[in-house]
Amino acid sequence: MSETSTSFKAIDPATGESLAGDFLNATYPDVEAAVAAALAAHQSYKQVSAAAKAVFLRNIAEEIEWIKDDLVIRAAAESGLPVGRLQGEVGRTTGQLRMFASQAEEGSWVHAIIDRAQPDRQPLPRSDIRRMLVPVGPVVVFGASNFPLAFSVAGGDTASALAAGCPVIVKAHPAHPGTSALVGQAIGRAVKRTGLHEGVFSILFDSGYQIGAALVAHPAIKAVTFTGSFKGGMALVQIAQQRKEPIPVFAEMGSINPVFLLPAALESRAVKMADMYAGSITLGAGQFCTNPGLLLAIQSPALDVFVKQLKTAIAEVLSATMLTPGICANFNTRSDEALVEKGVLLLGSSVKLRPDVSNQALARVAVVHALDFINNPRLREEVFGPYSLLVVADDTKQLDAVAAVLDGQLTITVMAEKTELKDHADLIRTLSDKAGRLILNGVPTGVEVCAAMQHGGPFPATNDSRFTSVGATAVLRFVRPMAWQDWDNALLPDALKDGNPLNIFRLVDNNWTKD
């Protein structure tokens, strides 16, 4: 790693032109300084009250809203995403900051458990044991390419880690450094407004991989989050596992999000479903981790109607700017490779190229027979972009066989009439073992930020399916359980004290109560 800084510029993917601003690649001393600051902040931030953390998170949301117009303009220039989409993403970003603020403020999420002493128990007395979740320490967050706001500098990973009481070091994504800098400055202002230790948040820039690797390998880092490719996620997992002290990497690595089109549903609404899925496949140029990359059905006249309408709908979709030249090139390469696999035929594609704009992706939908799909693991790999493969089975037994070979997924969708669900009970049981979120009669694109959301699934969708990167329980990635045995009440954390001064729900002698 270089000891001296070099710089890089952001690129407008729609034009290929460099944007204003030079961003310094971080150096090894920068990593050491950021980690040292985070370690120093950890000692004070882990003691900060829930109310103070809530104020901090709400201040970040306010700071982002104050720069919203400039932020959206810069994010659009760096990502090629439309302004309307980015305005919505600002709202999602500030909304989840406020959600975690409210969660921290309420406080029951620490899962306080109290088993009071039983000095007269025979044959041996029981000690007073009290347990709760505590922050693990400094966390590294990698910004995501496809969500320059909601999954990046002040996104759900950062918000949930701060809510848990952990200092955060963000490795900004090189595709949108200007956007990252604006948000990083907003968080810095919030740190000053609330009087917190300045090391509670840092941001480092790097156009390559060295800084990210150095952060994950640093012995003071206690957890890592990542949203991106399987290759990138597993590289970070490997670095973390090779440390003297292995640490968790919570890597969301995408999936193909299968959609099962059951016969009765096709019979009753084939055209409607085709239009619905043409929109979902091409939404955001297909650059969602929940993009429906796989459609599965049994051959029938109703499926023929679906295919005809899907081809028509896809052909009417304008080509779209992809996030970076590299992502666009990778999409074209991967989709070209998929189309020459045995038995794969192109069903339809977008035809309205925009010659005046760079890095355009043409949506593609292909078809393959179930047996060819079962026998070719390459067809089960993600093609990041507006691509989907229709797998056609001869009968229910063959459709079940296709389901059996699927890997773990973020989402699996079942399009069905309620009357036919019982006829496919075995299929649905199989799918429930492979999905983080099982959807009925919807589309996978669109992830609600709420308490019940699960955005994470069995490997290889994520490397740890026990956690989510979206929703209230995302905070659980950054804590560990700790018990206090036979401590005086005055010396206990407030969450565990007699009298319940925080007025939170606690499990006291196996009874949930606020008493």
pLDDT of residue 4: 58
Per the domain annotation, does 380 fall within a domain? yes
At 393, phi and psi to the nearest 5? Answer: -100, 155
Higher pLDDT, 4 or 20: 20
pLDDT of residue 11: 96
When pLDDT is averaged across residues 299-309 and rounded to a whole number, the result is 98
Active-site residue, selected from the candidate residues 63, 89, 105, 289: 289
Asked if residues 456 and 467 have their Cβ atoms less than 8 Å apart, the reply is yes
DSSP lists the bridge partners of residue 201 as: 168
DSSP lists the bridge partners of residue 390 as: 295, 367
The pTM assigned to this predicted structure is: 0.95
Q: Are residues 219 and 279 in the same domain?
A: no
Per the domain annotation, does 513 fall within a domain? no
The amino acid at residue 208 is G
- Calculate the dihedral angle through the C-alpha atoms of 36, 469, 381, 309, rounding to the nearest 10 degrees: -140
At 400, phi and psi to the nearest 5? Answer: -65, -35
144-159 per-position pLDDT tens digit: 999 999 999 999 999 9
252 has catalytic annotation: yes
Per the domain annotation, does 499 fall within a domain? no
Sign of the four-CA dihedral 338, 339, 344, 349: positive
CA angle 474, 193, 480 (to 5 degrees): 25
402-431 per-position pLDDT tens digit: 999 999 999 999 999 999 999 999 999 999
Q: Are residues 263 and 249 in the same domain?
A: no
Q: Are residues 218 and 307 in the same domain?
A: no
Per the domain annotation, does 458 fall within a domain? no
Asked if residues 97 and 61 have their Cβ atoms less than 8 Å apart, the reply is yes
Strand-strand pairing, 360-361 and 320-321: antiparallel
> At 60, which CATH number?
3.40.605.10
pLDDT of residue 478: 98
> At 309, which CATH number?
3.40.309.10
pLDDT of residue 1: 44
Q: Are residues 185 and 282 in the same domain?
A: no
DSSP lists the bridge partners of residue 484 as: 130
Per the domain annotation, does 459 fall within a domain? no
Q: Are residues 142 and 168 in the same domain?
A: yes
Q: What is the overall mean pLDDT for the chain?
A: 96
pLDDT of residue 355: 77
pLDDT of residue 3: 56
Tally of domains within the chain: 2
Q: Are residues 132 and 270 in the same domain?
A: no
245-283 per-position pLDDT tens digit: 999 999 999 899 999 999 999 999 999 999 999 999 999
105-139 per-position pLDDT tens digit: 999 999 999 999 999 999 999 999 999 999 999 99
Q: Give the structural domain span for 306.
A: 258-440
pLDDT band, residue 356 (cuts 50/70/90): confident
Active-site residue, selected from the candidate residues 63, 78, 105, 252: 252
The position carrying tokens 């309205």 is 352
Find, among 97, 164, 119, 160, the residue nearest to 137 by Cα. Answer: 164
Q: Are residues 223 and 276 in the same domain?
A: no
Find, among 427, 343, 331, 321, the residue nearest to 381 by Cα. Answer: 331
When pLDDT is averaged across residues 57-67 and rounded to a whole number, the result is 98
Q: Are residues 199 and 298 in the same domain?
A: no
Q: Are residues 239 and 288 in the same domain?
A: no
Residue 38 has pLDDT above 70, yes or no: yes
> What percentage of the chain reaches a pLDDT higher than 90?
97
191-228 per-position pLDDT tens digit: 999 999 999 999 999 999 999 999 999 999 999 999 99
289 has catalytic annotation: yes
When pLDDT is averaged across residues 340-352 and rounded to a whole number, the result is 93
DSSP structure string for 163-204: HHT--EEEE--TT-HHHHHHHHHHHHHHHHHHT--GGGEEEE
When pLDDT is averaged across residues 156-181 and rounded to a whole number, the result is 98
> What percentage of the chain reaches a pLDDT higher than 70?
99
When pLDDT is averaged across residues 89-95 and rounded to a whole number, the result is 97
Q: Are residues 237 and 284 in the same domain?
A: no
Per the domain annotation, does 163 fall within a domain? yes
Per the domain annotation, does 18 fall within a domain? no
Q: Are residues 215 and 145 in the same domain?
A: yes
pLDDT band, residue 92 (cuts 50/70/90): very high
426-480 per-position pLDDT tens digit: 999 999 999 999 999 999 998 999 999 999 999 999 999 999 999 999 999 999 9
Q: Are residues 291 and 219 in the same domain?
A: no
At 211, phi and psi to the nearest 5? Answer: -65, -45
Per the domain annotation, does 300 fall within a domain? yes
